[in-house]
Amino acid sequence: MSTLRISNIEAKSVPASATVDEKVKITNSSGDTLVFIDGKTSGITTVGINTTDGNIKFDANSNIVVTGIITATKFVGTIEPTDLTVSGKVSVGGSVTAATFYGNGANLTGLSGVSVANQADNRLITATGTTDALNGEANLTFETSTSGGTLTVAGTSEYQIKLKDTNSSGNAAETALAFTDSGDTIQGFVGFNYWGDGNLDIQNNNSGGSVCINTGGGNERLKITSGGNIQLPVNGQQLTWGASQQMKFYYENSEDRMYLQGDGEYGFAFRVNNGNALEIDKTTRDVTMQGASGRNFLWDNSEPSLYLTDNGTNSARLKIGTGGDLQLYHDVSGNVNHISAATNGDIKFSANKFYFYDYTGVTQRFRIDANGRVEINNASRPASDANEGAQLRVTGTPLTRNQYYSPAGHYYGSFGYTDNTYDKSWIAVDSSYAKSSAVSAGLFLSPFHQDAGGSGCGFTIKNLKTGNALVFSRVKTAASTGNPAVEEERVRITAAGNVGIGSDIPSKTLDVSGNIRCGNFTIDRHGDPTINMVSTSDTGGGSIYFGSPASGVRGGILYDHNNDQLKIYFL
What is the pTM for the complete model shown? 0.44
Cβ(348)–Cβ(357) under 8 Å? Answer: yes
Residue by residue, pLDDT tens for the chain (571 residues) are 555 665 555 555 555 554 556 778 788 888 787 777 777 777 777 887 777 777 777 777 777 777 777 777 777 777 777 777 777 777 766 666 666 666 655 555 555 555 555 444 544 454 555 544 555 545 666 665 666 667 777 777 788 788 888 776 766 678 888 988 888 899 999 998 888 888 889 999 988 899 998 988 888 989 999 888 888 888 878 888 777 777 777 777 777 777 777 776 666 676 666 666 677 777 777 777 776 665 566 767 777 677 777 767 777 777 777 777 777 777 777 777 777 766 656 666 666 666 666 656 667 778 888 788 888 887 888 888 888 889 999 888 889 999 998 899 999 899 888 999 999 999 999 999 999 999 999 999 999 999 999 999 999 999 999 999 999 999 999 999 989 999 999 999 999 999 999 999 998 899 988 888 787 878 777 777 777 777 666 667 778 888 888 888 888 888 877 778 888 888 7
- Amino acid 483: pLDDT: 93
Cα–Cα distance, 364 to 353 (Å, whole number): 13
pLDDT at 426 (0 to 100): 92
Q: Which residues of 159-196 are buried (b: 16+ CB within 10 A; e: fewer)?
A: eeeeeeeeeeeebeebbeeeeeeeeeeeebbebbbbee
* 445, β-bridge pairs: 459
Residues ≥6 apart with Cβ < 8 Å to 224: 210, 211, 212, 230, 231
DSSP letter at 362 equals -
Sheet of strand 552-560, all strands in order from the earlier edge strand to the far edge: 542-548, 552-560, 565-570
Distance CA 556, CA 87 (A): 179
| Contacts (Cβ under 8 Å, ≥6 apart) of 234 | 219, 220, 221
pLDDT for residue 132: 47
Provide the CB-side half-sphere exposure for 381 (13 A, CA).
Answer: 15
Nearest residue to 512 (alpha-carbon basis) of 499, 530, 493: 499
Contacts of 54 by beta carbon, 8 Å cutoff, 6+ apart: 36, 38, 46, 47, 48, 67
SS3 16: helix
Residues 6+ apart with CB under 8 A from 441: 429, 430, 431, 462, 463
**Structural contact between residues 291 and 274, judged by C-beta atoms closer than 8 angstroms:** no
* Angstrom distance (rounded) from CA 129 to CA 124: 17
